[in-house]
Structure formats: structure tokens, C-alpha cells
Amino acid sequence: MSPNPVGPLLKATFRLLSTSALAVACLGEPAWAQQKTITVATHYTDEQMRPLTACFRRYEAENPNIKIVHQQATFRDFLQTILTSRIGGRSPDIYNVYSIWGVQLVSNGVLAEPPADIVDFVRREYEARTVDAATVDGKIWGVPAEVSTYLLVYNKNLLREAGYSAPPRTWDELAAIAAKISKADAQGKLTVAGYAFGPTPANAVHPFRTLLFSRGRSLFTDDLRSTNLATPEAVEIVSKQAEIFRKNVTNSSIQVRDFPSGSVGMMITANWFKDTLRQGLGDKFESTVGVAPIPGGDDWRTYQYSFYYGVDARSPSKPEAWRLVRWLNTPSEPGKRSCVGDMLMTMGGLTANKADIAASQAEVNAPFTRPYMEAISSGRAISEKNVPQASEIEVTIRGAIEEAWLGRQDPQKALSAANAQIESILKEAR
Amino acid sequence: MPPLSLIPAKMLTQRTAPYLFLVPVLLFGLVFFALPLAASLYLSFTSWNSLVSPRWIGLANYEHLFTRDPLFLKTLLNTLVFTVGVVGIGVPASLLLAGVFSRSRYQALWRSIYSLPMVTNVVAVGFIWWFVLADPWGVLNRLLALIGIAGPAWLNDPSTAMIAVVMVFVWMHLGQNMLLFSAGLGAIDESLHEAARIDGASETRIFWSITLPLLRPTILFVLITSVITAISYFALILVLTEGGPVNSTNVTALYIYGMAFTDLRLGRASAAAYVLLVVIFLVSLLQLRVLRRGGVEAY
């Protein structure tokens, strides 16, 4: 049998390819081989990211050795998505971190410590209360971005129809107004809720926090080993919330998302809800939506949390990543907004970047946004110290509050049980 | 040129050949079943959050689940209620439909219609049913209001949420079991029914004394697969209620999912998954023992 003619041909081709590859390697790396890719992970949609994406392309043009990739995951799946990709060795370089995840990410070595110039930049350029949200164990771990805080949002028309020209200033006033606003159909089913809550843990826990802060209590004790859930103030707040359920002024079916349909009188909600309200109400937005302080009396306080841009501790491009984060958060020229500021203002968000606030007077002075901005700048919006397993703790609190709302458990009993459970979670995390 | 062979002829004896042919399947089973099973057994004795290396803690996860976890036992109870509900309603309903359609002129059409939910994405199913069950403006409550009945908040009331979830699950899986029962009914020799009729047996008597006993292998298969599916199921619940309100629909599989991927307690989630595995194993064993006669042995 004749030898196989394919063998020598293959060998020749292999030799040719090897020689060419060696030659290319000796001549020096091509431009694409020197380029570094920086992956930025956020929970924002492509539409929301549009202004930032344009900035990415501008940065790439100014820095040809950098390529920026956006990794998107929904807010709900964000943490598990980035952590799973980390297990798989494909960590993003930059994270848009929700402040309550901070302790978990820091204590497990996920976040890189920012260089001194970034720390100075944050201390100098951002509102101090918001910097607290990006702080874990006294250290700053990123550059603050989107800020969220809570206020009372009310339907001006429903309040007017019920004979009220001003929003409530205390919870008792709120309960009285809500009772007058609420309507039921022939079968006794609520069609208009005087006040509405939301379905998520945050929808229950954050408004509860605002009322607790207004009573001079924080959610966690100073040593972060326990909570103030079993205190008389906390029990009274939840008892009064449960009372409006019992009186059929609200229920678990009509929720904050129903506000645009005119079936909600009042709700304590975050500023980022503006976009939903604006989309739902269209040109009736201004004439329908009113914003007022938390109904917690003269000393009302509210809760704020933020997102911040942090860098992965394993990123091979840490200096480049921090440089990009700073660039994105710095105005290109005086009087203009930074890229992140631009994006936040476009989507109706808030920022604690002093330069962005100064350059966004029209946006921050809009009737809906101004009270939220004032809550932040006046120091009434408080961000508590971050604790480990914060998401799990929020779910626990939501469960306890909901048990009380629906009359399945006495508020004192439900909150005490939640406190014991949270103490156990915090102890385990230490 | 000698014939191309990857396996030396010496190795291909009568004794070794079957094992060699089984290698691909055994490898698949090892990589995708045995190894993950062993890894999760190991993890169940550790504390692991996926960010740092697992830390050995012995039986602490199991001890926590059974003595200190305020929800685990409740989720097991919810799983029991869900399983009894979907099997208790779903299996007889699909048997009934299979019986009815086996006599219908348009068998294929009916089977196709009832099989549609089975091939529909669970998120779409959840979304459609959310519009039906929502309160107060959902289709079902609007219809009830027309006849003067105040429908409950199906998905938001802890006393009705599990009922709503069970009904949607049954609707979704009706077609699958119906197809199996149809095949089982089709395999029964019609002459047995004819003989019984000639002997004067009523249709009810024929069903209980001839159809049902001969259908036991299919019933056993449907029961075992339905129970296993129900015990380990959570996708529809995640979409419809997320386990709420106040954990009234929080089944163990959903609880494990949250524990692992939201709370990042992968060690404890592995322990809970092993408890669920043992429950499924025991229930399946019990079903096999009870229905063995006329069931598996009939094959």
C-alpha cells in the first residue's frame, strides 16, 4: 500500500504556521493584544445606560488601549450573577454595588480597596451622608453613584376630593386622611386604598425605617449585634400600620404600583419611582403627584441608600478600572455634569456628587425631585451602618411586618421573633 | 493497512465488552450525577458562601435546619400540602380527561389542546394566570363580581394563595399525565371490556374492576413522577407568588433556592437539599411498595 500523501502536506502546513506565528511574536504584539478589556457590571438596562455607553465609547477613543464592556443583570439577579461569574473566574472589573451588599463583598475580599486619590476624591466631591453608604468598617470602598431616599408621595386629586388641602404631617393624620380617601365596591372590596404598601422586602422595610428614624431609633443597635425591632417605638409603628389593614383602608392587593391608576391615595416611596409614575400618568403627572416629608412629626427623618462603583479585588486592571471610575464621575468641564451624573439625571435618579448637583439645577429643582434632594442635603436622609447578610435580614423583617399587617401575629410577638432571628444571623456572620 | 480500531482486540472479551460500551453513559452519570451528589453531600457539612473556601462545620447545618430555622419545617409542610394538592387533584383529573377523550371523535385535537400548557414557558403561564387571579381587577374576580360574589385576593391572601398555585400547576401539567393515561388506556385489550359487558357488568363496574387494575403500571408511573416533580418544584411558585404571602406558598425547593442564591448559604442549602432528597426517596419507596402488585411486576 502506498504511503498516505496527506501526512507530509499536513506537516508542511504545520511548519509554515509555526514559523509565521513565531515571526509575528518576534515582531512585537499587535495593537489588539495590548488592549485591556474592562467589564462594568450594572443592573441598568441598555436604555438607561445609553448616556454612559456613549461615554464608554468616548473613553475608548481617548484611550485606544482600553475596551469597555457592559455586563447587565437585573437588580434581582445581580448579586448572584456577578458572584457566579466570579466562581467561574470571569469577574467583572467594576461593580455597581448596592450599599447593603457592601459588608458581604468586603468581608469576603471581593472588593478592592480604592487608592488614596480616589478616597480623597470621594471625600471632597460627595455629600457626607452618602459617603457613609459606601463605607464599611470606616473605609470607603467605592465612588457613590445613584442615591435613593424615601418620602411621602400622595395623589393631590384624591386628597382634595376627601377635603384635604395639605398632606399629613404625622401617621395619625395619615390614617385619618387615608380612611376618608379609601373606597370599597358593593361587595365591600377595596377599590381605592387610602395608603398603599409594596410587595418587596424593601417596600416594607424602608418605609418602616423612615418612621423608626423619625422616632429617634435606628434599625440596628450601636454594636450592630441586635436590632431595635422589639422596642415600643417599632411595635407602635407596625401596630398602627396593621390598624389601617384591619379597618380596610389598605390591603395587600392594592400596591404602590397601582398609584398611576388612581387607586392609591398615599405611599412612602423612593425617588426612583418617579419614572414609573411619569410613564403611568403621562401629562397628568404634575397635577396628580405631590411629595411631602415623612409623616413622622417635626423631627421626621428618612432612610437613604446608594449604589457605588467598586473594583474587583481580582481584577488584573485595577489601576485602569479606578481611573475609568474617576473619569466617569468627573465633569469634563466646569459647570457640566459627569457621565454618571448625566445618566442618573436622564433616568430621574439622584446623585450626591456636588458638581453634578450644581450642574443640574433644573432637574433637582423639579417639584417632584426637590423635596428628595432637600432631604439629602439637609441631613434628614440617614444611611445606617452596613451589616452582613443585609438582604436576608430585610426578608426576615418583611416577613414579621407582614404577619402583623395581615393580623396573623401580634406585632410585638412578630417583631421580637424577627429580632431573635436577626441576632442569630448577625452572630453567625461575625 | 490493518483495520482501524481504537480498542485493542485483547480488551474486547465477552466479559469486558458490555462495560466498555457502557463507558460513555457511566462517564456521563459520574460527571453530571455522582460527582455533584458527592460534592453537595460534602458541602452540606460545611459553611460556604461561594466567595471563600468551604469551612467544615460537621452536622451544624442539619442541626440548624431542624432546631433553629424558623421556616424550614414550615416549608416542608407547605411542600406536603402542595404535593397532596397537585397529585390528589391532578392525577384523577388527567385520568378522567384521558377516559373522556379516548371516546371522543377528535382525540388528537383535544390532546393537543390540553398539552399546550406543557410546552408553554412557565413565566408566560405565570403572567397569564396573574391577570386571571389578580385582585380586584383580575378576570376571575370580575366574573365573580358579576354574580355578586366577592372573590378573594387569590395570590395575596395566605389562606387562598396555595390553592391558587395548586390549581395553576394542575392546569399546567394536566396534558402530560393525560397523554400517559391515554397510552395506558390504549394498551388495554378491548376484548376484556367486551367480555365484561356481555357478562352484564355496568360501565362503573368495568372501570373499577377491569380498567383501573390493568392501568396500575401507568398509575404507578404517573404517581411516582408526579410526586417527585411536585416535591422538587418551585418555578411556577417563584413566578406567581415568590413564596408569599407570609411564606404561605414557600415550598422547600424554593426555600433552598433562596438560601443558596440570595442568601449565599450554599452549605446549608446543600443540607436542606439532602433532606429533600431523602424525603423523595422514602416517598417513592413507599409508593413502589404499595403499588408494586399489578404495577411494576406487571411489566
B19 inside domain: no
User: A406 near A252, Cβ under 8 Å?
Assistant: yes
* Average pLDDT over every residue of A262-284: 93
CATH code of domain A34-148+304-382: 3.40.190.10
Hey, are the CB atoms on B157 and A252 less than 8 Å from each other?
yes
- Domain map (residue ranges) of chain A: 34-148+304-382, 150-303+387-429
How much is the pLDDT for A188?
Answer: 84
B159 inside domain: yes
User: A71 near A41, Cβ under 8 Å?
Assistant: yes
First CA to last CA distance, chain A = 76
User: B264 near A87, Cβ under 8 Å?
Assistant: no
pLDDT at position B296 over 50: no
Between CA A237 and CA A222 the distance in angstroms is 21
Out of A188, A253, A389, whose CB is closest to B156? A253
Whichever domain contains B125, its CATH number is 1.10.3720.10
> Using 50, 70 and 90 to split pLDDT, how confident is the model at A282?
very high
How much is the pLDDT for A105?
Answer: 87
User: B70 near A422, Cβ under 8 Å?
Assistant: no
How distant is the Cα of B158 from the closest Cα of chain A, in angstroms?
9
Q: What are phi and psi of A243, to 5 degrees?
A: -65, -40
Query: How many C-alpha atoms does B250 have within 13 Å on its Cβ side?
Result: 19
B12 inside domain: no
Interface residue of A78, A253, A312 to substitute, partner B, most B CBs within 10 Å: A253
Q: List pLDDT tens digits, range A323-354.
A: 999 999 999 888 899 999 999 988 878 888 99
Give A-chain residues touching B49 at CB under 8 angstroms: 104, 108
Which of the residue ranges A379-383, B15-19, B89-93, B158-162 would you say has the lowest mean pLDDT? B15-19
* Residue in A closest to B157 by C-alpha: A252
User: B92 near B220, Cβ under 8 Å?
Assistant: no
**Residues 6+ positions from A430 with CB-CB distance below 8 Å:** A225
Residue B142 grid coordinates? 370580575
The ipTM estimated for the assembled molecules is 0.79
B82 inside domain: yes
In chain B, how many domains are there?
Answer: 1
* Residue in B closest to A81 by C-alpha: B261
Length in residues, chain A: 430
For chain A, list residues whose CB is within 8 angstroms of any CB belonging to chain B: 1, 79-80, 83-84, 86-87, 104, 108-110, 185-191, 199, 251-254, 389, 391-392, 395, 399, 402-403, 406, 408, 417, 421, 424
**Residues 6+ positions from A369 with CB-CB distance below 8 Å:** A271, A274, A348, A350, A363
Cβ count near A286 (within 10 Å): 13
Cβ count near B290 (within 10 Å): 11
How distant is the Cα of B262 from the closest Cα of chain A, in angstroms?
7
* Average pLDDT over every residue of A276-303: 95
Q: Which of A128, A67, A20 is nearest to A382 (CA)?
A: A128
Phi-psi region of B276 (alpha: psi -120 to 50; beta: other; left: phi over 0): alpha
Beta partners for residue A227, in sequence order: A220
Residue B39 grid coordinates? 460534592
Q: What are phi and psi of B250, to 5 degrees?
A: -80, 100
pLDDT at position A198 over 80: yes
Hey, are the CB atoms on B158 and A406 less than 8 Å from each other?
yes
Query: How many C-alpha atoms does B102 have within 13 Å on its Cβ side?
Result: 19
Hey, are the CB atoms on B50 and A87 less than 8 Å from each other?
yes
> Percentage of chain A with pLDDT > 70?
92
Domain that holds residue B109: 73-298
> Using 50, 70 and 90 to split pLDDT, how confident is the model at B239?
very high
pLDDT at position B295 over 50: no
Count of CB pairs separated by less than 8 Å, A with B: 71
Is A150-303+387-429 the same fold as A34-148+304-382? yes
Number of H helices, E strands in chain B: 15, 2
Hey, are the CB atoms on A417 and B1 less than 8 Å from each other?
no
pLDDT at position A14 over 60: no
Hey, are the CB atoms on B156 and A252 less than 8 Å from each other?
yes
Residue A245 grid coordinates? 389593614
How much is the pLDDT for A185?
Answer: 86
How distant is the Cα of A361 from the closest Cα of chain B, in angstroms?
39
How much is the pLDDT for A7?
Answer: 47
SS3 A153: strand
How much is the pLDDT for B1?
Answer: 52
> Where is A75: in which H helix or E strand?
helix A75-87
B50 inside domain: no
Out of A189, A251, A392, whose CB is closest to B150? A189
Hey, are the CB atoms on B52 and A86 less than 8 Å from each other?
no
* Average pLDDT over every residue of B15-19: 83
Interface residue of B4, B50, B51 to substitute, partner A, most A CBs within 10 Å: B51
How much is the pLDDT for B13?
Answer: 78
Between CA A426 and CA A229 the distance in angstroms is 14
> Using 50, 70 and 90 to split pLDDT, how confident is the model at B25?
very high
Q: List pLDDT tens digits, range A215-255.
A: 999 999 999 899 999 999 999 999 999 999 999 999 999 99
Residue A389 grid coordinates? 447578610
User: A342 near A116, Cβ under 8 Å?
Assistant: no
* Average pLDDT over every residue of B8-26: 82
- Residue of higher predicted confidence among B87 and A11: B87
- Distances, alpha carbon A305 to alpha carbons A97, A102, A134, in Å: 11, 11, 9
Q: List pLDDT tens digits, range A153-183.
A: 999 999 999 999 999 999 999 999 999 999 9
Q: List pLDDT tens digits, range B173-225.
A: 998 899 999 999 988 888 988 999 999 989 889 988 889 889 988 998 899 99
Q: What are phi and psi of A255, to 5 degrees?
A: -125, 175
B14 inside domain: no
Hey, are the CB atoms on B246 and A104 less than 8 Å from each other?
no
How much is the pLDDT for A78?
Answer: 85
pLDDT at position A389 over 60: yes
CATH code of domain A150-303+387-429: 3.40.190.10
